[in-house]
Each structure stands twice: as C-alpha cells, then as structure tokens.
C-alpha cells in the first residue's frame, strides 16, 4: 500500500478524479492534506503526491509542487490551463497533467514519477552522486574510495539511501534495521548515525540529516537545495 497525499482536492470534479484513481489502483491510499502540511511531514508520511492546481488558492500550486519535490516525494500536478505557471516540468520528481484528463492518465503519470524516485544503477547498486552502495558485495565507495563500515552501519546506510528524503524515527529504524537484535534502545541509532557520518560526511558531502525531535533522513545530492 502506497500513501498518496491529495492537495487542493476540494471541489466535485477533483473528488470524482480522486475516486476514479482509487478505483483503478486499490494499492494506493489517498490522503487529503492541506497546503499547511510541511515538507518534512510529506517526506515522512507519503510516497507520492497529487496536486489539484485549481484548489490551491491564491498562492498557486508552484510552491506546493516544488516543496513536495524537494522533500523527495514524486508529484503529479493537474493544471486547469496549458501553462506551467512557475512549475519546472524538467525535474524528474514532477509530472504534469492538463485538464481535461482521465484517472488513467493521472495514475500512469504518478507511476512514472514514482518509478524514477529511487536512483538505482543496475539491479543491485544504489548510487547517490559519488556515493555508491554495492548490495552484492556489501561494499560502499565514496569518490571511488572504499568506506569501511560495520554490518549494521552498512545496513543502516542502505536502508536510508533506499528512501532518500524520507524522515525515519529512531523507533522505525530500530524495527527495520535491527529488527529484534538490539538492546540499547533508541540511543543505539544515534551512536551508529554518528559513526556513519564520521565516515561518509565531510565538507563536500552531507548525506545524513537530523530532523530534530523526529529522527533522520538521507539527502541525495540530486535533491539537496
């Protein structure tokens, strides 16, 4: 099940479109959010976003669309007229539909945007700029130099890098990376994050970001602003 944020879906036409998308793909959980929803909340709670431009108010859709894309969330914006109005359709995270459009078209464009979300080079390699994670060899290189990581450091990095832009709480990381094999509580995550940063973060590289009072996220060089 993929959670999809609905922004600006406030009138009857947009409601009909959302219902059609939901009927087409039962694996999508469509969640209405407001324009006040922060970039961090989007990054941590949804896998994609649909923006109905006509319902975004006087401020227009541009800010919402780019905020979602900056958070690493694939987004489809549905525009009432053939005008991008400040939206950069050249960004891989953004797909554009112009009214009138069908639920089938919007669903297809959402799938296209989501398929481009995780930058994976080859079936078993995760690449973010100069950082390369070889999942077959359990090796990590940065600028061509091998990075020596413990098994848990490697698993933590791979998990975060597989979900760029998404914020994970310490508890979520413990469940996903450590599973049942940990005894140090959430502080275990902090210690491993600190060690991991000391090995891959420096003046020119800043991959792991702290979201205060929430947890951590991986920032790909392609989405850093």
Tokens of 179: 């599973």
Task: Note whether 21 and 65 are within 8 A (CB).
Answer: no
More confident residue, 38 or 14: 14
Integer CA distances (angstroms), 174 to 149, 154, 187, in order: 18, 14, 10
| Alpha-carbon radius of gyration of the chain | 19
Q: What is the pLDDT of residue 224?
A: 44
Asked whether residue 156 carries a pLDDT value surpassing 90, the answer given is yes
Task: Note whether 45 and 69 are within 8 A (CB).
Answer: no
Task: Note whether 208 and 196 are within 8 A (CB).
Answer: yes
Asked whether residue 171 carries a pLDDT value surpassing 50, the answer given is yes
Dist. CA 16–CA 9, nearest whole Å: 10
Q: Do 2-115 and 125-218 show the same overall fold?
A: no
* Residue spans per domain, the chain: 2-115, 125-218
Hey, what long-range contacts does 55-64 have (CB within 8 A, 24 or more apart)? 55/7, 55/8, 55/9, 55/10, 55/11, 55/14, 56/7, 56/8, 57/8, 59/35, 60/85, 60/86, 61/8, 61/85, 61/87, 62/86, 62/87, 64/7, 64/8, 64/35
Dist. CA 173–CA 177, nearest whole Å: 6
Q: What is the pLDDT of residue 180?
A: 58
Q: What is the pLDDT of residue 181?
A: 54
- What fold characterizes domain 2-115? Rossmann fold (3.40.50)
User: What value does the mean pLDDT take over residues 135-143?
Assistant: 87
Which CATH code of 3.40.50.720, 2.40.110.10, 1.10.287.1260, 1.10.10.10 fits the domain covering 125-218? 1.10.10.10
Please state which of the ranges 11-15, 129-133, 184-188, 206-210 shows the lowest mean pLDDT.
184-188
Dist. CA 219–CA 161, nearest whole Å: 8
Query: How confident is residue 120, by pLDDT bands cut at 50, 70 and 90?
Result: very low
Query: How confident is residue 178, by pLDDT bands cut at 50, 70 and 90?
Result: confident
């Amino acid at each position: 099940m993929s959670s999809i944020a609905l922004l600006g879906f406030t009138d009857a036409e947009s409601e009909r479109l959302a219902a059609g998308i939901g009927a087409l793909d039962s694996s999508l959980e469509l969640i209405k959010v407001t324009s006040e929803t922060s970039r961090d909340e989007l990054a941590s709670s949804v896998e994609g976003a649909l923006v109905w431009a006509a319902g975004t108010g006087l401020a227009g859709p541009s800010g919402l669309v780019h905020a979602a894309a900056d958070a690493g969330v694939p987004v489809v914006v549905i525009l009432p007229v053939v005008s991008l109005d400040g939206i950069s359709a050249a960004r891989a995270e953004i797909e554009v539909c112009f009214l009138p459009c069908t639920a089938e078209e919007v669903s297809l464009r959402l799938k296209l945007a989501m398929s481009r979300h995780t930058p994976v080079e080859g079936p078993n390699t995760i690449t973010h700029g100069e950082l390369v994670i070889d999942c077959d060899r359990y090796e990590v290189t940065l600028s061509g130099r091998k990075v020596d990581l413990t098994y848990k450091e490697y698993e933590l990095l791979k998990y975060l890098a597989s979900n760029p832009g998404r914020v994970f709480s310490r508890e979520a990381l413990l469940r996903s990376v450590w599973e049942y094999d940990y005894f140090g509580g959430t502080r275990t995550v902090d210690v491993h994050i600190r060690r991991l940063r000391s090995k891959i973060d420096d003046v020119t590289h800043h991959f792991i970001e702290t979201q205060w009072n929430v947890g951590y996220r991986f920032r790909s060089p392609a989405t850093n602003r």
